A and B are shown apart, each in its own frame.
Chain A
Amino acid sequence: MKTLTIILTDGPYISQYADMAYKIASRALNLFQVNIFLYLDAVHIPKSGQNPSQFKNTGLLFQELADRGAVVRACARCAAARGYRAEEDGSCPDYLPGIKITSLYDLAEMLEKSDRLIAL
């Protein structure tokens, strides 16, 4: 199976950006191994406890992607800057399950192993 990596750099709700990424990733999971790297403000996407009154819960959408086999990782430097603390295994008490904080070197590894790249 070919591998698709999606890189996101913006957070949820300010636009439909994360929503669109979810739709692309969701469809792509039928054809690709999907990796999603959350960079810069995108590290807010998997925060637990989101409660939007008018929109779909973006965090839950990305948790669903992880449950379906997507590898969803957030940049450690960006996460630390925004107050998300990683445990030793990369999990984060403030994140939804299945989504981990990791080194930026994992992005390079994802890119090297990818057949396709979508940077939104």
Chain B
Amino acid sequence: MSVIATEELTKRYPRVTALERLSVDVPVGVTGLVGANGAGKSTLIKILLGLSPATEGKARVLGLDVATEGATIRERVGYMPEHDCLPPDVSATEFVMHMARMSGLPATAARERTADTLRHVGLYEERYRPMGGYSTGMKQRVKLAQALVHDPQLVLLDEPTNGLDPVGRDEMLDLIRRIYTEFGISVFVTSHLLGELERTCDHVVVVDGGKLLRAQATKDFTRTMGVFTVEVDTHEDGADGTDDAYTALVGAGLQVERDGRLLHVGVDTETGYDTIRDTIDALGVGLVRLQQRRHRIAEVFQSPQTEKETADA
């Protein structure tokens, strides 16, 4: 069953087209929506919540029509906005409880669910303090808690990792994963970073300029998207090893793209990683760096390697 289904969804504003004939099917599980800023992600969320009518096309959320059943959708869905939305002079407990009441929960249930939910997102004693003193990570957790407090069937998370440091980002991504695996709530999460969604999501939808670029299961994605950055040391005699490494890696049958001292190596099999290591080792130069590359969307879809992969598929 799909939790979100859009058909030729189009949203035009007087000056700009935010979405153009977007047809996607989002299954149960964790799905990432990737796109650069201004790709139409927030517009799509607004349409899915039934808050903004589509210019053309249809969309269904949990089987309900966004045009006519918006109120029912909003009862069953949780939403975490991208921007800051927390009053600084109120505690997390008071705020989330109020939001639970605003979802229709009776006072007692709202209190219990607030305590439970805040614990699940990892807020403990600090939840009684005014939110003005919270770190960005804590604020993001409160925003997530208010989206979960009424036990929705689906949550829409708009850029939940925005503004977080690497550790906070990883914690947030783990939490997002748990929302589905432990709580059984489907997640539709947006980000402008493909790399971070690859790990967390079962499916990834990529949009650009309001158009669908690609939608597929993450495991297919990572297979074609595995790009490693390799940097090697100089030879013992001081000669640059990069040229040799380039030749050797190409010789090993890998797709290599040179970028100054960096080599971007496309890997499409599980053993590719070992091939890089063994090839460099055989050269006798020091391996300075071997890291998985974090893509930006534009790069992914413009690099010749992925174009070839897409054409093959």
A and B bind? no
Q: Please report A residues at the B interface, Cβ cutoff 8 Å.
A: none
